[in-house]
């Protein structure tokens, strides 16, 4: 029997409705949360991401604006923009959309963001707070993973959780959040020996490796909960046939569009082996922007009392 689908779109809508109510309450008290995005250059994917974030802001009532410096900006010029936003009391959240042009020191720019306005949750101050069990602004995708588990009635305490991937954006903070909820956590990565055996120990398996459909049935303990963070575009017809032959409708859509999205987990194996799982698309992805909105409200309340 196929596993239960953990519908990220439904959970996103729940969170956005709650955030909208929180914003309305703040506005009644005379405070409107503010979010500023810095979009350098004209990267098409970055433009889409920022546009979606700004639309979500408008939907929940957060005041939003996008700054669009040219692609030839220097590190010092971008640092000056960030400092202006740090000093602007109407701005509660700052996000600098990555990637930045090669001539810009991205690490230096991200470090310059006021930790109290770091709604992406990447600043070392916020990562340190998470690591010491006192989270403030938490990276959005890992925070979304916990929301999915909680709102789907999946118990975390005492479970074996295995996180595949050790990035600062997903893997490490996801492991820390699960540890903070009393799971027993293992982090695996490219140097892990016998990765499949380690993954099979998981009651909760988080796949964040960035490799399309790498995780197959031999990695999944029957009945495990699988959270697939990967978003990979497949364009090769042979690969699409291998991945989607079990779902003729999806294969038909691939043939019409010439591409399809797949996570880090083989979709057929995940459906067959997991007791519950996040699909791609429509699983973890929708939660990232919802948690960004939630972080902006959290930052507003912390900053403005």
Mean pLDDT, all residues of the chain: 96
pLDDT of 1 above 80? no
Instruction: Determine the pLDDT at residue 61.
Output: 98
A 10 A CB-CB count for 259 gives: 11
Condensed to tens digits (0 to 9), the pLDDT of residues 286-299 reads 999 999 999 999 99
Provide the strand spans (E) within the chain: 4-5, 34-38, 63-67, 93-96, 160-164, 184-188, 204-207, 225-228, 232-234, 260-262, 276-277
Both tokens of residue 143? 């925070």
Strands 276-277 and 184-188: unpaired
Both tokens of residue 274? 């997991």
Instruction: With CA atoms as reference, report the closest residue to 120 among 101, 152, 83, 94.
Output: 94
Is the distance from CB of 36 to CB of 83 less than 8 angstroms? no
Residues annotated as catalytic are: 53, 97, 120
Return phi, psi of residue 62, to 5°: -80, 135
Is the distance from CB of 190 to CB of 184 less than 8 angstroms? no
Alpha-carbon dihedral sign for residues 252, 47, 51, 10? positive
Return phi, psi of residue 90, to 5°: -80, -10
Condensed to tens digits (0 to 9), the pLDDT of residues 60-71 reads 999 999 999 999
- Mean pLDDT, to the nearest integer, of 74-91? 98
- Give how far Cα 51 sits from Cα of 13, 82, 281, 286, Å: 18, 19, 19, 14
pLDDT of 76 above 80? yes
pLDDT of 305 above 90? no
What domains are defined for the chain?
30-115 (3.40.50.10860), 139-286 (3.40.50.720)
For the ranges 26-35, 75-84, 215-224, 237-246, which has the lowest average pLDDT? Answer: 237-246
Is the distance from CB of 60 to CB of 293 less than 8 angstroms? yes
Both tokens of residue 256? 């019409």
Condensed to tens digits (0 to 9), the pLDDT of residues 228-247 reads 999 999 999 999 999 998 99
Condensed to tens digits (0 to 9), the pLDDT of residues 139-183 reads 999 999 999 999 999 999 999 999 999 999 999 999 999 999 999
- Give how far Cα 234 sits from Cα of 151, 277, 301, Å: 31, 20, 42
């Amino acid at each position: 029997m196929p596993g239960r689908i953990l519908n990220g779109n439904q959970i996103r809508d729940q969170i956005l409705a709650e955030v909208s109510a929180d914003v309305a309450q703040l506005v009644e008290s005379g405070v409107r949360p503010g979010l500023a995005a810095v979009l350098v250059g004209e990267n098409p994917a970055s433009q889409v991401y920022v546009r979606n974030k700004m639309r979500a802001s408008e939907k929940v009532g957060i005041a939003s604006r996008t700054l669009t410096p040219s692609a030839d900006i220097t590190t010092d010029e971008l640092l000056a923009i960030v400092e202006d936003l740090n000093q602007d009391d109407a701005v509660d959240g700052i996000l600098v959309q990555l990637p930045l042009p090669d001539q810009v020191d991205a690490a230096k720019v991200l470090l310059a963001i006021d930790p109290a306005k770091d709604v992406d949750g990447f600043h070392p101050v916020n990562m340190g707070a998470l690591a010491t069990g006192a989270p403030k602004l938490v990276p959005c995708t890992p925070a979304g993973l916990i929301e999915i588990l909680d709102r789907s009635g999946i118990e975390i305490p005492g479970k074996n959780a295995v996180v595949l991937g050790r990035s600062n954006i997903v893997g490490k903070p996801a492991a820390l959040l699960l540890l903070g909820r009393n799971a027993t956590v293992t982090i695996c990565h490219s140097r892990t020996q016998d990765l499949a055996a380690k993954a099979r120990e998981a009651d909760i398996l988080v796949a964040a490796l960035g490799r399309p459909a790498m995780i197959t049935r031999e990695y999944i303990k029957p009945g495990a909960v699988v959270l697939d963070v990967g978003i990979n575009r497949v364009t090769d017809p042979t690969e699409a046939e291998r991945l989607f032959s079990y779902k003729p409708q999806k294969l038909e859509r691939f043939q019409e569009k010439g591409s399809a999205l797949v996570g880090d987990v083989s979709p057929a194996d995940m459906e067959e082996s997991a007791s519950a799982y996040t699909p791609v698309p429509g699983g973890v992805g929708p939660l990232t922007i919802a948690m960004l909105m939630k972080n902006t409200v959290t930052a507003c309340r912390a900053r403005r009392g």
